[in-house]
Structure 1
Amino acid sequence: MASNRLIRCVRTILLALVTVLALSGCYNSGSENYKSVAVGSNLNLAGLELRSISIASRAENQPGRLLGAVFNPTGEDIKLTIGDRDNSLDLTVPAKGQLPFDTAVHILQTTDEPPGARTDLTVGAKGEKSVLNVPVLDGTLEQYAPYVPK
Protein backbone atom coordinates (compact mmCIF):
# COMPACT_ATOMS: atom_id res chain seq x y z
CA MET A 1 0.00 0.00 0.00
CA ALA A 2 2.74 2.44 0.91
CA SER A 3 4.54 1.69 -2.36
CA ASN A 4 1.36 2.41 -4.40
CA ARG A 5 0.96 5.70 -2.55
CA LEU A 6 4.60 6.57 -3.23
CA ILE A 7 4.24 5.71 -6.93
CA ARG A 8 1.12 7.94 -7.23
CA CYS A 9 2.89 10.78 -5.47
CA VAL A 10 5.91 10.51 -7.80
CA ARG A 11 3.63 10.35 -10.87
CA THR A 12 1.74 13.43 -9.72
CA ILE A 13 4.96 15.38 -9.14
CA LEU A 14 6.35 14.31 -12.54
CA LEU A 15 3.09 15.26 -14.31
CA ALA A 16 3.11 18.67 -12.62
CA LEU A 17 6.76 19.21 -13.57
CA VAL A 18 6.16 18.24 -17.22
CA THR A 19 3.12 20.57 -17.35
CA VAL A 20 5.10 23.51 -15.95
CA LEU A 21 7.96 22.94 -18.37
CA ALA A 22 5.62 22.59 -21.36
CA LEU A 23 3.68 25.75 -20.54
CA SER A 24 6.74 27.87 -19.82
CA GLY A 25 7.60 27.76 -23.54
CA CYS A 26 4.28 29.47 -24.34
CA TYR A 27 5.07 32.69 -22.47
CA ASN A 28 5.62 35.78 -24.66
CA SER A 29 6.77 38.88 -22.83
CA GLY A 30 5.92 41.09 -25.80
CA SER A 31 9.59 41.91 -26.33
CA GLU A 32 9.10 41.49 -30.09
CA ASN A 33 6.73 44.49 -30.09
CA TYR A 34 8.96 46.86 -28.15
CA LYS A 35 9.11 49.46 -30.92
CA SER A 36 5.39 50.12 -31.19
CA VAL A 37 4.81 52.50 -28.31
CA ALA A 38 1.85 54.66 -29.24
CA VAL A 39 -1.16 55.03 -31.44
CA GLY A 40 0.00 55.50 -35.01
CA SER A 41 0.88 53.69 -38.21
CA ASN A 42 3.73 51.28 -38.91
CA LEU A 43 5.63 50.64 -42.12
CA ASN A 44 8.76 48.74 -43.18
CA LEU A 45 10.43 50.43 -46.15
CA ALA A 46 13.89 50.06 -47.71
CA GLY A 47 15.37 48.58 -44.54
CA LEU A 48 13.75 51.19 -42.27
CA GLU A 49 11.12 50.48 -39.63
CA LEU A 50 8.66 53.36 -39.15
CA ARG A 51 6.75 52.86 -35.90
CA SER A 52 3.73 54.63 -34.39
CA ILE A 53 3.85 57.45 -36.94
CA SER A 54 1.23 60.17 -36.40
CA ILE A 55 0.90 63.94 -36.65
CA ALA A 56 0.11 66.38 -33.82
CA SER A 57 -1.68 69.54 -34.96
CA ARG A 58 -4.10 72.18 -33.63
CA ALA A 59 -6.36 72.10 -36.70
CA GLU A 60 -6.60 71.38 -40.41
CA ASN A 61 -4.23 73.55 -42.50
CA GLN A 62 -2.12 74.29 -39.40
CA PRO A 63 1.46 73.10 -38.83
CA GLY A 64 1.77 69.45 -37.85
CA ARG A 65 4.57 67.75 -35.94
CA LEU A 66 5.59 64.20 -36.75
CA LEU A 67 5.41 61.73 -33.86
CA GLY A 68 6.68 58.17 -33.56
CA ALA A 69 10.11 56.86 -34.48
CA VAL A 70 12.12 55.47 -37.37
CA PHE A 71 14.55 52.60 -36.72
CA ASN A 72 17.42 51.63 -38.98
CA PRO A 73 18.78 48.15 -38.20
CA THR A 74 21.02 48.20 -41.29
CA GLY A 75 24.71 49.01 -41.39
CA GLU A 76 24.32 52.15 -43.49
CA ASP A 77 22.80 55.61 -43.03
CA ILE A 78 19.54 55.87 -44.98
CA LYS A 79 18.03 59.08 -46.35
CA LEU A 80 14.28 59.23 -45.76
CA THR A 81 11.72 61.64 -47.23
CA ILE A 82 8.37 62.11 -45.49
CA GLY A 83 5.80 64.52 -46.83
CA ASP A 84 2.21 65.41 -47.55
CA ARG A 85 0.70 67.18 -50.57
CA ASP A 86 2.48 70.51 -50.03
CA ASN A 87 5.58 69.87 -47.92
CA SER A 88 8.28 67.24 -47.50
CA LEU A 89 11.08 66.67 -45.03
CA ASP A 90 14.43 65.12 -45.90
CA LEU A 91 15.86 63.17 -42.97
CA THR A 92 18.79 60.84 -42.37
CA VAL A 93 18.39 57.80 -40.14
CA PRO A 94 21.79 56.68 -38.82
CA ALA A 95 23.07 53.13 -39.33
CA LYS A 96 22.08 50.83 -36.46
CA GLY A 97 20.25 53.81 -34.96
CA GLN A 98 16.95 55.55 -34.70
CA LEU A 99 15.25 58.86 -35.25
CA PRO A 100 12.74 59.46 -32.43
CA PHE A 101 10.32 62.27 -33.30
CA ASP A 102 9.56 63.04 -29.65
CA THR A 103 13.06 64.49 -29.24
CA ALA A 104 13.89 65.36 -32.87
CA VAL A 105 11.38 68.03 -33.93
CA HIS A 106 10.16 67.74 -37.53
CA ILE A 107 7.18 69.88 -38.54
CA LEU A 108 5.15 69.87 -41.75
CA GLN A 109 3.96 73.36 -42.78
CA THR A 110 0.30 72.35 -42.91
CA THR A 111 -1.80 69.35 -41.96
CA ASP A 112 -4.18 68.13 -44.67
CA GLU A 113 -6.86 66.83 -42.29
CA PRO A 114 -8.29 67.97 -38.92
CA PRO A 115 -7.46 66.27 -35.62
CA GLY A 116 -9.43 63.06 -35.23
CA ALA A 117 -9.07 62.21 -38.93
CA ARG A 118 -6.36 60.33 -40.79
CA THR A 119 -4.14 61.73 -43.51
CA ASP A 120 -1.75 60.30 -46.08
CA LEU A 121 1.98 60.82 -45.90
CA THR A 122 4.27 59.86 -48.77
CA VAL A 123 7.37 58.07 -47.52
CA GLY A 124 10.43 57.37 -49.66
CA ALA A 125 13.88 55.84 -49.17
CA LYS A 126 16.45 54.22 -51.46
CA GLY A 127 14.21 54.54 -54.52
CA GLU A 128 11.20 52.94 -52.82
CA LYS A 129 8.00 54.90 -52.11
CA SER A 130 4.88 54.16 -50.11
CA VAL A 131 1.84 55.96 -48.76
CA LEU A 132 1.30 55.78 -45.01
CA ASN A 133 -2.14 56.68 -43.64
CA VAL A 134 -1.58 58.22 -40.19
CA PRO A 135 -3.81 59.65 -37.44
CA VAL A 136 -3.91 63.39 -36.79
CA LEU A 137 -3.90 64.13 -33.05
CA ASP A 138 -4.38 67.31 -31.06
CA GLY A 139 -3.79 68.24 -27.43
CA THR A 140 -7.09 66.76 -26.22
CA LEU A 141 -5.18 63.79 -24.84
CA GLU A 142 -2.69 65.08 -22.29
CA GLN A 143 0.23 62.98 -23.55
CA TYR A 144 0.10 64.66 -27.00
CA ALA A 145 -0.41 68.28 -25.87
CA PRO A 146 3.33 69.09 -25.56
CA TYR A 147 3.90 68.06 -29.18
CA VAL A 148 1.23 70.22 -30.81
CA PRO A 149 2.96 73.13 -32.60
CA LYS A 150 2.07 76.51 -31.08
Structure 2
Amino acid sequence: MTAQKNRGRRAVAAAALAMLALGVTSCGAINEQATTFQYAASDGIILNVADLDVRNMLIVTKSATDEARLLGSVVNNTATPQTLTVALATGSVSINVPAKTSVKLEDEANKTILPSAGVIPGKQAKATLSVGGSSEEVGIPVVDGTLESYREFVPGGFDPSELTHLTPSPKSEEHH
Protein backbone atom coordinates (compact mmCIF):
# COMPACT_ATOMS: atom_id res chain seq x y z
CA MET A 1 0.00 0.00 0.00
CA THR A 2 2.86 2.39 0.76
CA ALA A 3 4.39 2.04 -2.72
CA GLN A 4 1.00 2.80 -4.25
CA LYS A 5 0.65 5.93 -2.06
CA ASN A 6 4.11 7.11 -3.08
CA ARG A 7 3.30 6.56 -6.77
CA GLY A 8 0.07 8.53 -6.32
CA ARG A 9 1.87 11.36 -4.55
CA ARG A 10 4.53 11.46 -7.26
CA ALA A 11 1.85 11.61 -9.96
CA VAL A 12 0.09 14.47 -8.14
CA ALA A 13 3.43 16.27 -7.63
CA ALA A 14 4.35 15.79 -11.31
CA ALA A 15 0.93 17.12 -12.41
CA ALA A 16 1.30 20.12 -10.08
CA LEU A 17 4.80 20.80 -11.44
CA ALA A 18 3.53 20.56 -15.03
CA MET A 19 0.71 23.01 -14.25
CA LEU A 20 3.18 25.38 -12.61
CA ALA A 21 5.49 25.22 -15.63
CA LEU A 22 2.54 25.81 -17.95
CA GLY A 23 1.38 28.75 -15.83
CA VAL A 24 4.83 30.34 -15.89
CA THR A 25 5.41 29.92 -19.63
CA SER A 26 1.92 30.23 -21.06
CA CYS A 27 1.86 34.03 -20.99
CA GLY A 28 4.36 33.85 -23.87
CA ALA A 29 1.81 31.92 -25.90
CA ILE A 30 -0.73 34.74 -25.53
CA ASN A 31 1.42 37.87 -25.30
CA GLU A 32 4.31 38.64 -27.61
CA GLN A 33 7.67 39.09 -25.93
CA ALA A 34 8.48 42.78 -25.40
CA THR A 35 12.04 42.16 -26.58
CA THR A 36 10.78 41.19 -30.05
CA PHE A 37 9.34 44.66 -30.75
CA GLN A 38 11.47 47.05 -32.79
CA TYR A 39 11.02 50.57 -31.52
CA ALA A 40 12.86 53.88 -31.37
CA ALA A 41 14.67 53.87 -28.04
CA SER A 42 15.20 57.60 -28.31
CA ASP A 43 13.07 60.46 -29.56
CA GLY A 44 13.48 59.83 -33.30
CA ILE A 45 11.98 57.33 -35.71
CA ILE A 46 13.45 54.12 -37.10
CA LEU A 47 12.59 52.78 -40.55
CA ASN A 48 14.05 51.39 -43.74
CA VAL A 49 13.53 53.06 -47.10
CA ALA A 50 14.61 50.84 -50.01
CA ASP A 51 18.23 49.88 -49.21
CA LEU A 52 18.82 52.62 -46.62
CA ASP A 53 18.36 52.26 -42.86
CA VAL A 54 17.12 55.46 -41.20
CA ARG A 55 17.89 55.54 -37.49
CA ASN A 56 16.67 57.96 -34.80
CA MET A 57 15.56 60.67 -37.24
CA LEU A 58 14.07 63.81 -35.71
CA ILE A 59 13.89 67.55 -36.32
CA VAL A 60 15.19 70.25 -33.95
CA THR A 61 13.84 73.80 -34.18
CA LYS A 62 12.69 76.81 -32.11
CA SER A 63 9.22 77.05 -33.65
CA ALA A 64 7.03 75.99 -36.58
CA THR A 65 8.46 78.76 -38.77
CA ASP A 66 12.15 78.91 -37.78
CA GLU A 67 14.88 76.95 -39.56
CA ALA A 68 14.94 73.28 -38.59
CA ARG A 69 17.83 70.82 -38.38
CA LEU A 70 17.47 67.15 -39.26
CA LEU A 71 19.21 64.73 -36.87
CA GLY A 72 19.78 60.97 -36.96
CA SER A 73 21.77 58.50 -39.02
CA VAL A 74 21.33 57.04 -42.47
CA VAL A 75 23.06 53.71 -43.10
CA ASN A 76 23.89 52.30 -46.54
CA ASN A 77 24.93 48.63 -46.43
CA THR A 78 24.96 48.28 -50.23
CA ALA A 79 27.92 48.47 -52.60
CA THR A 80 26.49 51.52 -54.43
CA PRO A 81 26.01 55.11 -53.26
CA GLN A 82 22.40 56.02 -52.39
CA THR A 83 20.52 59.30 -51.87
CA LEU A 84 17.77 59.80 -49.30
CA THR A 85 15.37 62.66 -49.97
CA VAL A 86 13.39 64.04 -47.03
CA ALA A 87 10.44 66.13 -48.24
CA LEU A 88 8.21 68.22 -45.96
CA ALA A 89 5.53 70.68 -47.00
CA THR A 90 8.06 73.43 -46.20
CA GLY A 91 10.90 72.10 -48.39
CA SER A 92 13.14 69.13 -48.97
CA VAL A 93 16.73 68.03 -48.51
CA SER A 94 18.83 65.25 -50.04
CA ILE A 95 21.35 63.22 -48.10
CA ASN A 96 24.04 61.42 -50.10
CA VAL A 97 25.17 58.18 -48.46
CA PRO A 98 28.30 56.56 -49.91
CA ALA A 99 28.46 52.77 -50.31
CA LYS A 100 29.02 50.73 -47.14
CA THR A 101 28.91 53.76 -44.83
CA SER A 102 26.62 55.70 -42.56
CA VAL A 103 25.99 59.43 -42.43
CA LYS A 104 25.50 60.86 -38.95
CA LEU A 105 23.53 64.10 -39.27
CA GLU A 106 24.68 65.33 -35.84
CA ASP A 107 28.20 65.75 -37.28
CA GLU A 108 28.91 69.30 -38.40
CA ALA A 109 30.11 67.99 -41.79
CA ASN A 110 26.66 66.48 -42.40
CA LYS A 111 24.59 69.39 -41.05
CA THR A 112 21.21 69.29 -42.83
CA ILE A 113 18.91 72.31 -42.53
CA LEU A 114 15.27 72.60 -43.63
CA PRO A 115 13.54 75.98 -44.16
CA SER A 116 11.20 75.05 -41.26
CA ALA A 117 9.42 72.06 -39.74
CA GLY A 118 5.96 73.50 -40.41
CA VAL A 119 4.75 72.29 -37.00
CA ILE A 120 5.57 73.32 -33.43
CA PRO A 121 7.98 71.31 -31.28
CA GLY A 122 6.14 68.43 -29.65
CA LYS A 123 4.28 67.53 -32.85
CA GLN A 124 5.29 65.36 -35.81
CA ALA A 125 6.12 66.83 -39.20
CA LYS A 126 4.55 64.86 -42.05
CA ALA A 127 7.29 63.87 -44.45
CA THR A 128 8.02 61.66 -47.43
CA LEU A 129 11.33 59.82 -47.33
CA SER A 130 12.39 58.47 -50.70
CA VAL A 131 15.24 56.55 -52.27
CA GLY A 132 15.04 56.00 -56.02
CA GLY A 133 11.50 54.83 -56.76
CA SER A 134 10.70 53.79 -53.17
CA SER A 135 9.12 56.13 -50.65
CA GLU A 136 7.64 56.08 -47.15
CA GLU A 137 5.17 58.51 -45.59
CA VAL A 138 6.21 59.21 -42.00
CA GLY A 139 5.74 61.56 -39.09
CA ILE A 140 9.11 62.90 -37.92
CA PRO A 141 9.15 64.05 -34.27
CA VAL A 142 9.94 67.75 -33.82
CA VAL A 143 11.77 68.86 -30.66
CA ASP A 144 13.25 72.09 -29.36
CA GLY A 145 15.97 72.88 -26.84
CA THR A 146 13.90 71.97 -23.79
CA LEU A 147 15.98 68.80 -23.47
CA GLU A 148 19.60 69.76 -22.93
CA SER A 149 20.93 67.11 -25.33
CA TYR A 150 19.32 68.92 -28.30
CA ARG A 151 20.31 72.51 -27.42
CA GLU A 152 23.54 72.50 -29.43
CA PHE A 153 21.57 71.53 -32.57
CA VAL A 154 18.91 74.28 -32.46
CA PRO A 155 19.46 76.42 -35.60
CA GLY A 156 20.32 79.98 -34.59
CA GLY A 157 21.31 78.82 -31.11
CA PHE A 158 19.34 78.07 -27.99
CA ASP A 159 18.23 80.84 -25.64
CA PRO A 160 17.68 79.57 -22.05
CA SER A 161 15.12 82.35 -21.45
CA GLU A 162 12.81 80.40 -23.77
CA LEU A 163 12.32 77.96 -20.87
CA THR A 164 11.22 80.49 -18.25
CA HIS A 165 7.58 79.57 -18.83
CA LEU A 166 8.42 76.07 -17.62
CA THR A 167 9.73 77.25 -14.23
CA PRO A 168 7.07 77.22 -11.52
CA SER A 169 6.54 80.61 -9.89
CA PRO A 170 6.27 80.81 -6.10
CA LYS A 171 2.65 81.07 -4.96
CA SER A 172 1.72 83.84 -2.64
CA GLU A 173 0.37 82.80 0.72
CA GLU A 174 -3.35 83.02 1.01
CA HIS A 175 -4.85 84.43 4.21
CA HIS A 176 -8.31 83.42 5.28
Give the shorter-chain TM-score range.
Answer: 0.7 to 0.9
**1:37 Cα deviation after fit:** 6.4
Paired residue type of 2:105? F
Pair 1:136 & 2:142 matched = yes
**Once the two structures are aligned, what percentage of the paired residues are identical?**
32
Map Cα deviations across residues 1-45 of structure 1 (whole Å, 9 max, x no partner).
xxxxxxxxxxxxxxxxxxxxxxxxxxxxx9xx8xx6632111101
Displaced runs of 4+ in structure 1, greater than 4 A? Answer: none
Contact 1:83 1:108 (8 Å CA) reproduced:
no
Map Cα deviations across residues 86-122 of structure 1 (whole Å, 9 max, x no partner).
3111221111101111001001001111011111121
Residue in 2 aligned with 1:13?
A: none
Distance in 2 (alpha carbons) for counterparts of 1:67 and 1:79? 16
Pair 1:64 & 2:76 matched = no
2:51 aligned to which of 37, 47, 52: 47
Aligned residues: 117
SS of residue paired to 1:110:
coil
1:96 aligned to which of 89, 97, 100: 100
Residue in 2 aligned with 1:109?
A: 115
Distance in 2 (alpha carbons) for counterparts of 1:108 and 1:37? 24
Contact 2:83 2:97 (8 Å CA) reproduced:
yes
Q: What TM-score results when the alignment is normalised by the length of structure 2?
A: 0.63
1:76 aligned to which of 80, 86, 111: 80
Q: Of Structure 1 and Structure 2, which has the larger fraction of its residues in helix?
A: 2
Q: Of Structure 1 and Structure 2, which has the larger fraction of its residues in strand?
A: 1
Contact 2:90 2:117 (8 Å CA) reproduced:
no
What root-mean-square deviation, in Å, do the aligned CA atoms of Structure 1 and Structure 2 show? 1.6
Distance in 2 (alpha carbons) for counterparts of 1:69 and 1:90? 13
Q: What TM-score results when the alignment is normalised by the length of structure 1?
A: 0.73
**1:59 Cα deviation after fit:** 0.5
SS of residue paired to 1:76:
coil
**1:126 Cα deviation after fit:** 1.6
Q: How does 1:26-45 map to 2 (within 5 A)?
A: 38-45=42-49
* Structure 2 stretches lacking a partner, 5+ long: 1-34, 157-176
* Structure 1 stretches lacking a partner, 5+ long: 1-29
Contact 1:70 1:98 (8 Å CA) reproduced:
yes
- Greater relative contact order (Cα 8 A, min sep 6): structure 1 or 2? 1
Distance in 2 (alpha carbons) for counterparts of 1:118 and 1:80? 19
